[in-house]
Amino acid sequence: MTSSFNPLRGWQVSRDAISMVGRDLLRPECILAEPDGTLWTADARGGVMRIAADGTQTLIAQQSESESASAPATQSAEQLVLGKTLPNGLAFDREGNIVIANFGTDAIELMARDGASRTLHNSIDGAPLGKTNFVLTDSRGRIWFTVTTRQVPWTRSINEKTADGYVGLIDTNGIRIVADHFVGTNEVRLDAKEEWLYVVETNARRISRLRVADDGSLSGREIFGPRDLGGFPDGFAFDAHGNLWITLILNEKLIALTPEGDVLTLLDDGNPEAFARYESHYANGTTTPQLMGACRGTLAPMMASVTFGGPDLRTVYLGSLAGTSLASFRSPVAGLPLSHWRTA
């Protein structure tokens, strides 16, 4: 432990201070926040939900560029989830369009704010991308993306703990893999100077990081923090102090890794008995969706992501796989602004 000041040491989220934002959301796994207070959440109906600062909601469905942006969606939520599109990770490009890692189509897509969408990439080196999970844009406009696994079906990778996930990069030179052999690649984040890329390895229960070269190549891979976080990290975000806020899905916890690598528990909404059962099956490679479902918390069920917003970047929003609204609270420290915020 360190004696240096850190605004998170000794602080935890008070349940009484949590408010819920949005309504009737469907799988709001990823959240984007804009300086004017607008929120955008991934939506399993096949697009994004726009939540204005006054609370007004608009579901923007993905449509091919040849379709009318005002045409109503014709598929039910269940058909979309079980069939094709399932937006997961979101990021803004320099023009304000939304880059989507689509967990349903296994593609990286680009959606205008009116819903007009096109596929950027669905293959690499002549092979399918795999199970696309997350996207991140940097200050140069490059797109970093993750693929959780190449296994089909992808759920095999959970019990088999397959190290076939990777990080890819899309820039003016095209698309390429820049780091491979991760165990359940999930979200990625850059530090304030964009010198290190941090990678969630959900099924290895750890955070890794790699040094970023000027050309986007990665090197010096190392584990950041504990080798086992005691749960399954899913989403994360930096604050301005350098703490890395992390959601532990199934544990239903929000933790932080300090710059020194210490773990701080900020919020615990878990069911210890259900999680213990899941861990036992995970060790034996026998997990099931039912075991996962039993672990759900009450605030952000299947807690999947954390986003800083508000004009001062001190409002925190929690995304989830099973929630219908966003848990929100105030932080004692501002979040690290993402590339779209710095250029807004």
**Per-residue pLDDT at 66:** 61
Q: Which CATH class is domain 23-342?
A: mainly beta
Peptide bond into 301 cis (omega under 30): no
**Per-residue pLDDT at 83:** 44
pLDDT digits (tens, 9 = 90+) for 172-203: 999 999 999 999 999 999 999 999 999 999 99
Mean pLDDT of the chain: 93
**Per-residue pLDDT at 344:** 61
- Whole-angstrom distance, CA of residue 39 vs CA of residue 312: 15
Check: CB of residue 257 under 8 Å from CB of residue 7.
no
pLDDT digits (tens, 9 = 90+) for 267-302: 999 999 999 999 999 999 999 999 999 999 999 999
* Residues of the chain above pLDDT 70, percent: 93
**Per-residue pLDDT at 67:** 56
Angle ∠(143,147,153) on CA atoms, nearest 5:
150
Q: Does residue 21 sit in helix, strand or coil?
A: strand
Tokens at 244, concatenated: 């890395």
- Whole-angstrom distance, CA of residue 263 vs CA of residue 247: 12
The enclosing H or E element of 40 equals: strand 39-43
Chain-centroid distance, C-alpha 42: 10
pLDDT confidence bin for 74, thresholds 50/70/90: very low
Interstrand relation of 63-64 and 116-121 (parallel, antiparallel or unpaired): parallel
DSSP string over 43-97: ETTTEEEEE-TTS-EEEEE-EETTS-TTSPP-S-HHHHHHSS--EEEEEE-TTS-
Q: Kindly compute the dihedral angle of the four CA atoms of residues 16, 21, 25, 26, in this order, to the nearest 10 degrees.
A: -50
pLDDT digits (tens, 9 = 90+) for 84-104: 899 999 999 999 999 999 999
Check: CB of residue 159 under 8 Å from CB of residue 286.
yes
- Whole-angstrom distance, CA of residue 85 vs CA of residue 103: 7
Q: What is the DSSP letter of 22?
A: -
pLDDT digits (tens, 9 = 90+) for 47-71: 999 999 999 999 999 998 665 444 4
| Whether pLDDT at 73 is above 70 | no
Interval 309-333 mean pLDDT: 98
Tokens at 103, concatenated: 């967990």
| Whether pLDDT at 2 is above 60 | no
Label residues 153-186 b or e (16+ Cβ within 10 Å = b): ebeebbeeebbbbbbbbbeeeebeebbeebbbbb
Q: State the chain's maximal CA–CA distance in angstroms.
A: 59
Check: CB of residue 316 under 8 Å from CB of residue 343.
no
**Per-residue pLDDT at 70:** 43
**Per-residue pLDDT at 342:** 76
- Whole-angstrom distance, CA of residue 85 vs CA of residue 105: 5
The overall pTM is greater than 0.75: yes
pLDDT digits (tens, 9 = 90+) for 35-48: 999 999 999 999 99
**Domain residue spans in the chain?**
23-342
